[in-house]
Structure 1
Amino acid sequence: MKREGENPITIREVARCAGVSIATVSRVINDSLTVTPKTREKVSAAMIGLGYTRNEVARSLKIRHTRTIGIIAPELSNTFFMEVLESMEKVFSQRGYTMVICSSSNSVEEEQKKLQVMMERTVDALVIIPVSDVSDHFQGKMLSSIPMVIVDRQLPRLHTDTVLTDNRYGVQQVIKALVQEGFTRIGFIGGSLHIPTAKERYAGYLNAMEEANLTVEGEYVFLEGAMDQKSGYSSIQRILQKQDHPQAFFIANDLLHLGATTYLMETFSPGNRPSLVFASFDYLSYSPLLQFCHYAVFQPLEEIGKSVAELLLRRLDDDWEGFPQQILFKPEIKVMHANATPQLQFPIQDSGKASSQVNC
């Protein structure tokens, strides 16, 4: 075994220990089919015994690729992001690619730093879930030579492939459902309009309210800060300090929804809880447990992740047909039958199971 402070074990030493040529060791390292199982076993045993590790950085300089995909997401605690990444990993691993994942911590500055780290690691391609609508740092010469797919958020002036959900459609459908239940005052809990998904979902809310001829009450529209549990918690707390608040609210993502529900569950005893009704983006595994929710917008996370990976692999195979391509998923509306009116129907029954592709 190599002791700390010693020079790394070389291929020459492995070859000497195994009693084979340096070329044979190289073939074993590169999984060549020309090596017999007996020889492969002998070389592998020598590598383990000596503590040999392959220098991936040096190797990548020779073969000009690292078989790694760089992933930058705003936060790794977000269930939506992690389920999409898990689906992507299944596809990438089948082709021998490994994902390098990091968080930008909902900061443009951190996003820029992590992007630089990915470039220094010479990743073969990038998947970016952007923090905001700031896109200048994705347009430099440094990124012109590698494929990149933007997920979940569309950035202005950025000429690249994107995979998106039709946010406006999803919000409009759940607002319509609340109206069908008889709600005429509907508030909005979202995030900063510099976050592309927050902006799109707010636009969907405004469109739906206008179509229903309902008034948007500004004091019950929350567009501040990150779309996280803390913001959801504080927003519903502030709402309940007002006596004449609406009974129904659209909540722009699952973390805001969790925060709002947590406040209600912690603050009020079961028989004393306010009769609030929520409609929300997203529908995740735990959504049926959120007892204030009547409707949730379901995004096909597995299909989204698969589409991202397959699109990126096409680009890595030098297939640039239709570039830049936009894949747009139409979400499905889930009715929480234990809480909501069960007879409601939505216009598209198979939404979320198929995607439409638009070449920009």
Structure 2
Amino acid sequence: MTSANEIVDSHTTGVDGLYAPFELKSLHLRNRFAMAPMTRQFSPEGVPGEDVAEYYRRRAAGGVGLIITEGTYIPDPAAGESPRVPRIYGKDSLSGWRRVVDAVHAAGGAIVPQLWHVGVTRGERPDLNPEVPSVSPSGRTLDGDPLGHELSSADLDQLRQWYVDAAVDAQRVGFDGLELHGAHGYLLDQFMWERTNLRSDSYGGSIASRSKFPAEVVAAIREAVGPDFAIIYRFSQWKSNSYRARLAQTPAELEQVLTPLVDAGVDILHASTRRHWLPAFEDLAGPDGVLGLAGWTKKVTGVPTITVGSIGLDSEFTTALRTADGTAGVADIDKLLQQYERAEFDLAAVGRALISDPEWVNKLRAGRTDEFVPYDNTYRQTLH
């Protein structure tokens, strides 16, 4: 296996490129590394405390250009299931986020919140607001079983407004932009996916129709926050119940899925994968056949992209994040550099490697790769 030190020597241009500044609207980043959003439930009653501020500050001090926070619930009482997940509404939660933002800025980083609504994956008996039924486009789980409340037209109007309220509060708190969580089978993704969107109105049916509500959310947020506040949209092909699920079977379908979001005001697309280096459409031949999901996203939309998925580690998150004894060893970034040199992405989101090693970005740049800390799930279970 090639060492990261050897990568620095043999791909100097690529490594230097990852440390080049990136600027887009309200985002002014010192390099191309982002911290991927990772939920760990360290915010009792939805309020991020001083320990959360210190957690994010350490990663900013360790060299990360952009912090994307863990998912944070929008004001809908049915947004999520855990009282320990932070919220992006309410005086105490917003005050907590202001402390987080100030700490990250003082360390030289930028930060955006991830606005999150889990939809039907909240289940039947959530710990948070159990008296409130879970909601979804068609009252169906990811497996297709009936559950919860199908959103009416009036419900969609209110839901859209809750997203706007969260976005406006994020801007007021001082965040540098925002990310919408539209991946992994959560609410916005449930509208996109034909298995969970069985609606017969204008929000269901074709790919374009299934993209309509997420695009309306983006457009409403854009109108509320103005033209210069950066909007990132995270999407994925896979769902939490199926890693083989696909929103788009072909690049043409991917373009149909994403174009309405871009037209509505999305500035950056965050293409969530488990292994960033895998081809997005593996049956395609020719030079484009090697493109990952971020690469295809950039090709069909023309907007900047974020790549993510096991960067710096030798196993995907399912085996090293969700299991109690999960571990992952240090890996080189050869493939990441190759993708960057092919202009497949603009930002690289690092996840578990930053949980175990807050200084990962600075260590890579300084060639201190022998000091990288392998991932162990005990790091996820303690806030440090």
TM-score normalized with structure 1 length: 0.25
TM-score normalized with structure 2 length: 0.24
Q: Which has the larger radius of gyration?
A: 1
